[in-house]
Amino acid sequence: MKGVPSWGLILGVTVGVVIGVLLALGTLLCIRLRKKHDRLRISSSRRASTVPMRANAVDACSVLSDSSMDPESPKQPDPKADSPALWTEGTKQKNLVSVSGIPKYSYRDLQKATRNFNTLIGQGAFGPVYKAQMPTGETVAVKVLSTNSKQGEKEFQMEVLLLARLHHRNLVNLVGYCAEKNQHMLIYVYMTNGSLASHLYNEKHKVLSWDLRVNIALDVARGLEYLHDGAVPPVVHRDIKSGNILLDDSMRARVADFGLSREEIVSRQASNVRGTFGYLDPEYVSSRSFTKKSDVYSFGVLLFELIAARNPQQGLMEYVELAAINAGGRDGWEEIADPRLDGVFDTAEVNDVAALAYKCINRLSKKRPSMRDVVQALSQILKTRHRKHHTRKSAADEESLSSVSEHHREESIGSLSDLPDV
């Protein structure tokens, strides 16, 4: 029997090997299936969290009349947006980072950054505004919202999330917030040149040139067009006025306080009619329904304010209506131009801007243009300006060239005349 393997042993080894191979194959299959499942799960959660961002961005690009060329607008989806669409608190990190990458600051952080709220830069309808120096070195504006609001923490965060998704080169971007113990604060990029109102009415600023005023008008129109037609869901500003137009260090205008006029974010007692007196759409006052066209009305008032540098709360519109009788809605608007401009403006441009403004303040909202139409009209005015400038420049170049050759000709005649008579 020795040397001859027993049948039992052979059978045992074979069965062992077969079982081993089967087990190995099974494990391999399990690992593969698991990996595939994981990949599917990751890609679907990624899709779920980025789709709203992308939908917003694509819409913004496709509908805007000309601001889609802006590299900043709308912002590309944030890589951090791959995180779940919930506010999640990091265990180590003190600040809360949302889907949109907007950090949440603690009350103490902001207390420190504003030197115990000692850096007041203004007092608005929503509450005080402070200048603050963040630990990163960035200067920001902290807007403290008066908190008689019944809104809870979660709702406030949802509102902030909506605001944080709005990005455009002509909007004052939100860069952070604080929601703590009934304290609601919004943190914005600091605008070094202050409000348009201060430039129009404060003698300490040098006069805004006419050319700059038209550029500012187009900036504001683009910001509003983005809110109306680029943002998903669309945002109606409800408080367009020169105090809410802020100027950055290169004098580019940005619209501030968008999305803040809603009941949910700040509650004001007996807030029947909201907005600012002098800029209010008369149709809204009678119907109580605020639409995009109500913003167009306020924008029209703002255009007249840029032309005349008169405050709408101090009879700007009466002044405009009187001028309209003479101007017939088209010409002669230069009569109401800001005296500080000292007549330094292109009369045709003033008339074109005023005619556009007059359309915006039509009593019937459906007769007012859309913000997209307004952007196109203002862009056209600026294109005409550049064309005129170019023609004038080439005419001047030609003139100087011809005067050089004239001079040259005279010189050669002179040199000829110097020759001795033969």
Binding residues for ligand ADP, rule: CB under 6 A, are: 121-122, 124-126, 129, 141, 143, 172, 188, 190-191, 194-195, 243-244, 246, 256-257
In terms of DSSP bridges, do strands 103-104 and 96-97 run parallel, antiparallel, or are they unpaired?
Answer: antiparallel
Distances (CA, A) of 98 to 78, 346, 367: 11, 48, 41
- The least CB distance from residue 190 to ligand ADP, in Å, is 5
When binding is defined by CB under 5 A, the residue of 114, 244, 276, 365 that contacts Mg ion is: 244
Q: Residue 275 or residue 300: which is nearer to ligand ADP going by CB?
A: 275
Site for Mg ion in 74-133 (CB under 5 A): 124
- Does 257 engage in binding with Mg ion (CB under 5 A)? yes
Distances (CA, A) of 205 to 170, 194, 222, 249, 287: 22, 11, 25, 14, 39
Q: Residue 171 or residue 324: which is nearer to Mg ion going by CB?
A: 171
Helix, strand, or coil (residue 124) = strand
From ligand ADP, Mg ion, none, interface partner of 125 (C-beta below 5 to 8 A by class): ligand ADP
- The least CB distance from residue 299 to ligand ADP, in Å, is 16
- The least CB distance from residue 241 to ligand ADP, in Å, is 7
* The amino acid at 345: F
The closest residue (CB) to ligand ADP is 124
Distances (CA, A) of 418 to 245, 409, 410, 411: 68, 14, 12, 10
Spatial CB neighbours of 69, under 8 Å, sequence gap ≥ 6 = none
Q: Out of 109, 239, 281, 295, which one is annotated catalytic? A: 239
Spatial CB neighbours of 391, under 8 Å, sequence gap ≥ 6 = none
239 in catalytic set:
yes
Closest to 206 in 3D by CA, of 241, 246, 251, 244: 251
- The least CB distance from residue 170 to ligand ADP, in Å, is 14
- DSSP letter for each residue of 133-186: E-TTS-EEEEEEEP------HHHHHHHHHHHHT---TTB--EEEEEEETTEEEE
From ligand ADP, Mg ion, none, interface partner of 228 (C-beta below 5 to 8 A by class): none
Alpha carbons 168 and 67: distance in angstroms, whole number: 9
From ligand ADP, Mg ion, none, interface partner of 103 (C-beta below 5 to 8 A by class): none
Site for Mg ion in 270-309 (CB under 5 A): none
Site for Mg ion in 193-232 (CB under 5 A): none
- The least CB distance from residue 165 to ligand ADP, in Å, is 18
**Tokens standing for 274?**
């909201």
From ligand ADP, Mg ion, none, interface partner of 235 (C-beta below 5 to 8 A by class): none
- The least CB distance from residue 261 to ligand ADP, in Å, is 10
From ligand ADP, Mg ion, none, interface partner of 194 (C-beta below 5 to 8 A by class): ligand ADP
Judged by the rule CB under 5 A, the positions of this chain that interact with Mg ion are 124, 244, 256-257
**Residues annotated catalytic, as ranges:** 239
